[in-house]
């Protein structure tokens, strides 16, 4: 996990006092917890920089390095993107110093460590009664919207049939709904909630329900597209979700083979009205689904729309100025 030869150097710039000097006590404590729970992956060292993946709400990539007498960091989490020394970087620092999962901490013959790692927690949970675990999970879900959505998606998968689509529609609504503007720090978490809903739509496709997947992927695309303007998405969390949903939609259309003329009209209208390039280039992307008949309808719609554009006389403009 780490390079012991570097850890043994007395002049190593990474130490607890150094970490404490650039963060608050709460972040320091949470970072140490992450280190002891085994959340830090294998550490790599190159050119004076150490880096590792750290498991948090999602997988984040962290780096630490020493420059001009100061400890510097980077992390792909929302706080790290803002230049804040986050708990994930603290965890990397502690593991680099030699603190890690409980099983790594004790020397032979030493007293058992009071720390508990993820393996021990899992072993403990396997001994508990199912009803006790259900109560624990339900209690947590009341305070954790993302966990609640994950449970609903899982229920939808087991239900199958028409009820699965009904549940997933509700999950999409809950994931996309927002109270006001979604700021930069909340954008990644907001995007993860939508990803959970998209997982459910993709399961419809994989479980042999392509028609339902077509309907729900379009529903999700419209829902997300309608909210993009209210999201501070400078780290690009939403765009990959839109791209993934469009791929699911195309794959579902390939399998479901919806009525070609109707699909051509929907695709054209969507491409024409979208402010976010959703389904841009649909005629090319969906050529295998539309066939010559659907493409003819699409072309006719495009020509009709183009005919509405007024031809410019020499010296005229549409009123746009540089």
Give 48-67 pLDDT, tens digit per residue. 889 999 988 778 899 999 88
Distance (Å, rounded) from C-alpha 290 to C-alpha 8?
Answer: 65
Residue written as token pair 């549409």: 318
The predicted model gives 175-179 an average pLDDT of 87
Which parts of 133-219 are beta strand (E)?
none
How distant, in Å, are the alpha carbons of 26, 57, 98, 231, 258 from that of 87?
9, 12, 17, 25, 49
Longest dimension (CA), the chain: 92
Tokens of residue 28, six digits: 């320091």
Contacts of 49 (CB under 8 A, 6+ apart): 63, 64, 65
Query: 120: exposed, middle or buried (C-beta count within 10 Å: 0-12, 13-18, 19+)?
Result: middle
Q: Is the pLDDT of residue 101 over 80?
A: no
How distant, in Å, are the alpha carbons of 2, 12, 41, 63, 301 from that of 95?
8, 13, 10, 13, 61
What pLDDT does residue 18 have?
85
3-state helix, strand, coil in the chain (%, to 5): 60, 10, 30
Nearest alpha carbon to residue 151 among 161, 162, 140: 140
- 48: Cα within 13 Å, side-chain hemisphere: 9
Tokens of residue 72, six digits: 């510097």
Q: Mean pLDDT in the chain?
A: 85
Residue 284: which pLDDT band, with cuts at 50, 70 and 90? very high
Q: Is the pLDDT of residue 263 over 70?
A: yes
Backbone angles phi and psi of 48, in degrees to 5 = 80, 5
Distance (Å, rounded) from C-alpha 129 to C-alpha 296?
Answer: 62
Distance (Å, rounded) from C-alpha 233 to C-alpha 65?
Answer: 28
What pLDDT does residue 14 have?
82
What pLDDT does residue 318 have?
56
């Amino acid at each position: 996990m780490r390079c012991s030869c570097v850890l043994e150097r007395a002049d190593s710039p990474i130490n607890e006092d150094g970490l404490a000097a650039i963060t608050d006590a709460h972040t320091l404590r949470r970072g140490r917890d992450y280190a002891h729970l085994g959340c830090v992956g294998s550490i790599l060292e190159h050119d004076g920089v150490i880096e590792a993946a750290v498991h948090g709400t999602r997988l984040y990539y962290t780096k630490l390095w020493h420059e001009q007498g100061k400890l510097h960091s980077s992390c792909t989490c929302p706080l790290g993107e803002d230049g804040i020394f986050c708990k994930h970087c603290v965890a990397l620092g502690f593991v680099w110093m030699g603190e890690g999962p409980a099983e790594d901490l004790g020397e032979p013959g030493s007293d058992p460590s009071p720390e508990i790692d993820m393996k021990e927690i899992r072993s403990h949970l396997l001994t508990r009664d199912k009803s006790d675990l259900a109560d624990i999970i339900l209690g947590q879900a009341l305070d954790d919207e993302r966990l609640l959505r994950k449970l609903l998606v899982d229920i939808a998968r087991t239900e199958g049939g028409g009820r699965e689509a009904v549940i997933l529609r509700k999950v999409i609504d809950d994931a996309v709904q927002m109270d006001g503007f979604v700021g930069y720090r909340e954008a990644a978490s907001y995007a993860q909630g939508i990803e959970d809903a998209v997982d459910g739509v993709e399961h419809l496709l994989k479980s042999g329900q392509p028609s339902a997947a077509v309907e729900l992927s379009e529903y999700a695309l419209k829902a997300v597209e309608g909210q993009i303007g209210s999201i501070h998405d400078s780290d690009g969390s939403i765009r990959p979700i839109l791209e993934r949903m469009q791929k699911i939609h195309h794959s579902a259309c390939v399998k479901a083979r919806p009525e070609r003329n109707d699909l051509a009209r929907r695709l054209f209208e969507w491409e024409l009205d979208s402010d976010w390039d959703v389904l841009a280039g649909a005629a090319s992307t969906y050529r295998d689904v539309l066939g010559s008949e659907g493409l003819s309808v699409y072309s006719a719609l495009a020509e009709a729309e183009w005919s509405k554009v007024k031809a410019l006389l020499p010296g005229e403009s549409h009123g746009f100025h540089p």
